[in-house]
Structure formats: structure tokens, C-alpha cells
Structure 1
Amino acid sequence: MTAFRIELRRSSALLLAAATVVVGALLLWLLADEWTARWSGLAYLMRALLFALVPVALAAGAWQGGRDRRAGVTELFGTVARPYPQRLLPVALAMAAGVLVAYAALLAGGSVQVAPYASYAGGQWPVVVAVGAVALVAAAWLGMAVGRWVPSVLTPPTLLVFSFLGQMLSRLDNGVLLPVLATPSDLATVAPEFLAAQGVWFGGLAAAALLLVASATVWARALAAAVALAAAGVSSAVAPATAFVVSTDGATLVCADGEPRVCAPRIHAAVLPALTEPAREALRTLAPIPNAPTRVVATDLGWAPVAPQRTTDVLVVDLRFRLNATGRFEAAPAGLRTILLKGAGTQSCPDPAWGFERDVAADQAATGWVTGRPAGPATDEYGRLGERTLSELKALPRPEQLARLAAYRTAKVRCDRDPLTALTTGAPR
């Protein structure tokens, strides 16, 4: 313990800890909108930080690993009775302690921001962060090993540059051997098998790096290489094809009290207080249309496995671009009502065969009808088309107006027919 305390003060451990905190805190601040309302968002950003923190740990470890040769004391230390591995162990532990304490400090700082706003604490997020911490320790020890065997002053910056380049060339595609995880959605969670495979890989890499740091023979270095290869082989073999799966618990719908039903995924339950009244007001506005929606569901349409089935009785609110840094809606109640009434409570069709211009014109006309406002800025061809369509629709008897709006909503839900044609001519419903 005495040697460990001395190495904490004299090694690169404190420098590594300080660099980790400074770089990590800066990135957490710059990317605050990505995580401040969700524990899972914080966990995945902690893993995203490894894009910068792993190169820093490698460089700091390499600088520490070459210390003895740079100081010219290798032969002197070789004459002492204490075995080389035993002498190197306190240094390695000090480096690991430095990077772990710094990583934990970043997590604690982020937690202070998340705790007041997060409405859901489930999922795999603690394990996601823990695996990232093991990756950082492995990087620091691997840097020490490289620095010991290549004790040049150019080794740390070379490792720094090439580790950045290696991560960029890998495209950070959530490979099991890569430290960075990029989640596609808040409603996704890392597969437990994938986390286990990464734990095996980074744990094996850390063990191999420690063997290299303390190795004094060819056989020890061969054993280290075998451990690393075995860890890579096992993790690649057991890793699932897809890193992410639907968070069954987080995606479970929870609903506000009362009727009509207004629901959101458990992980986004914080939106319900602001959403409920504007949603029910929008349902009342749409109620005269024959196939009007009867309930509202807020979800992330960008994550297809949990997107609700398109039906006329459900008004879907896409959460992807509607939330601020605290997980609440950016729009005020009046703005929320406008969002809900867009396209008479329908979602756009993906890649419409009839063209986006006609889709937008139909949406503008339907929105103008239900809100009682102009169809939209008539500054281009489809804007003028929407304005003209709304005028023609309002000139019809009210029962025909409602019938055409119902036909339009059916076309938008099924995405099998031009909604502008349905709005202008009517159709079988």
C-alpha cells in the first residue's frame, strides 16, 4: 500500500485522471441535449466518451510505461531483489485507480443532472457504464505495455493519433471489440449477451496488457498474446448479431388517468403531464370526422420495432424531435395542439409514390380545415395547391367535407393511395 500511494503521487495516474475529467466534462457539456433527462442516455454517452478517453488512456499509459528507460534506471532497478512484476504492480494499480476514479466522477456529475428529470431508471445502463470502465483500464495498461517495449517520446502521441484513426476507420458500428456504443433510440437497450461478450473481451485485454507490462520472458509475452486472442475469439463467437434489442420494460406504455387514453413509453412518462390536455383537446377537435382517432400514443417512430401500428383510431406523436434537454416537450400547449392536429392527426407516408409535394399539399389542406387557419404559406407550387384544395373543400356541403377528410385519413394511414386525390374526389372508405 505504501508503494501504491507513492505511485499515485509520482506516476502519470493523477495526470491521466485530470485529463479524463477535463476531456469528459467538456464533452458532457457540449452534448448535454443527448443525456440530461435519461439514465440510458447518460450511460450511452459515457460509452461515446470513450472515443476520446481511450486514446488519452493509451497515451498516458505509454508515457508511464517508458518512464524507467527514459530516466536511465532500468539496469539499476534490475539489481534489486524485488521481482520486476511485483515492482510494476503498484504502478499499474495506480493508473487503473486514476482512470476509474475520473470515470466515476464523470458519472456522478452526470447523475446530478439526470436524477431530477429522469422518469425511468430501468434497463442495462449500469452494466453499460461498467464495461466502459473496464475498457478504459485495459487501454491504460495496454499503453503501459507498449511504452515499456517502445520507450520513445514519440510513442504516446503516435498511440493517441492511431487510436483515433482506428476508431474512425471502424466507423464505430457497435462492434463487439469496440469501446464506443451508439444507441439508435432511447427505447433500445443493449442485449445482455452483447454486454457479456464485451466484458469478456475487455477483461481479457486488460489481463493480457497487465501480463505484458510485468513480463520478463518470451513465454510471458506469448501467454499475454494467447489471452488476448482467446478473449477476442470467445467474445466474437458468443456476441449476438445485433447489439441492441427493444427495451421491453422501457417501451411499455403507461397512460394518464382518465379518458380518452393518452399514453407514452415508460421511459418517456415525463411527457404525460404536458401532453394529456392538449391531446384530449385535439381528439375533441377531430371527433366530427367519421374515422377520427380515439386515443393518443407518444413514441419514437425512428425505432421501427416499437412504432405503433398505423390505424385510424390512434393519433401518434413522434417524440424524436419534440423533447428538450430535460425530456419535456419544447412546445407550449398551443404548439402541441398544432402538432397533434397536423394532417388531421396523421403521420406522413414514407417514400410516397405520388411525391412529397402532393403529400405536403394534402397535409396543409387537412391541417387548415381542422384548425380553421390558412392551409400554409402559398409561396411555392404545392403551397398554392394546398390553399386551393382547402378552399374547394370548404365550398362543399359539410357531410361531404367530413367524408373526404375520412377518405384522406384512411389513405394516409394505409399509404396505398394519393391522399390529395382522396381529399379532392373522395374514395371508398
Structure 2
Amino acid sequence: MKRLKDMKAAKVRAGDTLGTRMWKKVVFLVSIGRNAIVVIIGLVTAYLLDDHQPFIITGEVVPGLPAVRLPQFTAVVNGTTLSFGDILEDIGSGVAIIPILSILGTVAIANAFCGGKTLDAKQEMYALGFCNLLGSFVQSMPVTGSFSRTAVNATSGVKTTAGGIITSVLVMLALAFLTSHFKFIPKASLSAVIMCAVLFMVEYEMVAPIWRARRLDQLPLWVTFLACLFWKVEYGILVGVAVDLALLLYSSAIPKINVSTIKKEDGVKAAYVLVEPCTGLFFPSVDYVRAAVNKAGISTAEGSLTVVLDCCHLTGLDFTAVKGIEGLCSDFQKRQQPLILANASPNIKKSLACLDPHIKITSTPEELHSLLRCVSLRNEVTATCDQSAAVSARDGCSHNTQQQLCNGAQQQCSVCNGAQQHCRDLQR
């Protein structure tokens, strides 16, 4: 019956005769009124079999509208008066779960039927809270949105909130004049209506796209489903949230890090090793990133080549992250290996500069290029000095001769001296 209105044969066309249009309208009304039809058929059947009743029926329903009065904070059950604390203890975790499910359901329905318009979830929660607050004065059940009723309204052509007024009037008329007939409604027919309404809400077709998009997302999906199925719905939701949070923390604690070797212009010798964390740096991932950068400095950069840590994804640093970078800089200083923090935003640069005034931080590609050139020339000078010292030691030169050779090597390149000065200016 749900599918009838979606069949091509039930769609009204421009060339249809009046009789055909009327017939298609009847099919449409049968499709959207399926719940009422099933309940009425069950009611009539139970009424005709009154003397030989095979069903468990609803029973007597108190007629009339509920009285308007202050909410009751006590209840009498089997002659025992329960206090407000006893009621809360009996409800248990439902005190928190019911509002959460109510909000989630209402916002999800609004998203599904907003037609691409902007949704203000705060306003939805205000409306929901206002309805529950007023409902407490007429002994109402907890109020939330209904997927099935909203879908029926949408397919029926409802465009405004006046549809809610019509529904309210029908409910009040039913409570005032039809409650005596509710007695014969079989509970099985009500159960069937609920089961069929919920059955079509199961989005089984989403399993395959989730698997193709990110397989790890199947874990919270199936954990939540199985926990709700074999345990309780409220506990299943909490378990699913906990699993999802654990996956989120795991991805934050172990971010993806790309390590690559950048060649010089000749395309043969390595210029530096680039380390690129793909996410921000906060408390959970500090130790992992520090270990990864150190590993890249020792293995890929062989403990001597310059390592550049790309900070373009660092949108902010907490205190633990700052201390972790401080420890990372200390590790490289002990190995006398250059470490440069590149593409740092002004806020990141300000946070890191307070660690050590000599830390190498750049914000633009030009600054990075100048600093790399400075480090390269400095390494060349150091290598020349070491080579001169080795030659002089081999030839039996004195310490003064070695120092003169080293000084001469340092003075060979005026460009080197200018680059070193520029490097110191950048550091300042």
C-alpha cells in the first residue's frame, strides 16, 4: 500500500479523463491512509468477533480531553505513592536519552524535509522545548517529530504549519467522540502499523556507499545496531557514540604524515627532507608527530640533511603541542641537524618563537628559500674547514696553521657571509 502512490499507473497525467483522475486519487488516498485502513479493518473484525475474541484488544480508553493542571511530581502505582526521586529512578537513563533522541529525531526530520533551505537547529530545539513544557500541563507524552507522519504530510501536499493545526483538531475530536470505539482495536494491528512505519526508516541502501567511502565507518554503525538489538536502545546509542569518539581520537592521535626528499636544481643531490603532517597538532598527536619527524631526520635525512616541517595545517597549538615542538627542536640541536618550521601562520609563529629565539621559523616561500640557502652555505663552510683541518693534521701543520686555513675557507665567499647575516636577521 505504501508503494501504490509511487507507481507510474497511479500518477495523474494531463490527458487523463475525469474517471481516471478520480480512480488515481482513490489509489493515492488508499496509499497514504494505509495505517487508518489497517486499524479500521482490525477494529471491525474484532467487533464482529466480540463473543469469540481471538485478539488482545486495546480495552477501555478514558474519553474526553485531559484536564489542564500543574504537572504532577508524584504518582500512585498499585496503591503505593512514588516520589519524584522514585520516578526518576524508575525511568533511569531515559531521563537523558529521551530528550537526546527527541532532538536528534526532530533535527533529522527537519533536514530531510527542508528542501535545501537553511535550517536553524537552535530554533528547532526551542520549539521542541516549548511544546514539551506546555504538554506537561495536559499530561502529554514526550513530544518529538514523526518521520512517517511528516512523510504523509509531505506527500499529501502540506506546505505550512497549518497542517499541524488540522492534525491537532482531528486528534481532539477523536479523543472526544471516538474513544469508545478504540476498545476493539487489536494490539496486533497497532504493532503492525508501528513495525511497518519503522521498517521503511531502515536505510539499508546506505551500507554499500559507507563501505565505499570509508570502511572504518562501518564499525560504529554495526556496533550501534547490534547493541540496540541485543541490549537496550539507549545503551546502544551511548556505545555507538563512544566507539565513534574513540575512532575520532584515534585519527587525531595518529595523523597521516607525508615524508619526501626534495632534490636540488641538478636533480641528483638532496636539498632537504620535507615532513608534512596532514592534520593539526594537538595533545593526542604530539608524541606521534615528534617520533615521526625524528625518524625522518635520522633515516631519510641520514642525521645531517636539513629537515623542513610544514606547518600549513597547524591552525592552533595547545600547551602540550608547544612543549612537544620544543622537545623536537632540542632533539635536532643535540644531533646538530638543521630543523626549519615552514609556512607557519602569524599565531603559530608567535607561539613557537617564545620557546627559543634561535628557532628557525618561516612564513613565506621566500623566507624558506633564504634560510635553506644560508644553511647550505654554512654547511659548505663547515665542510671546507673540516677538510682543511684534516689536510693540515695529515701534513703535520700546527694548530695555528689549521685555524688560519679554516679562517681562509670562511672568508672565501662573501656571499656566504651575507647569507649568514641575512639568516641572523631572519632569526631576530
Q: TM-score range by the shorter chain?
A: 0.3 to 0.5
Q: Which has the higher contact order (CA 8 A, sep 6+)?
A: 1
Is the radius of gyration larger for structure 1 or structure 2?
2
Normalised to the residue count of structure 2, the TM-score between the two structures is: 0.32
Normalised to the residue count of structure 1, the TM-score between the two structures is: 0.32
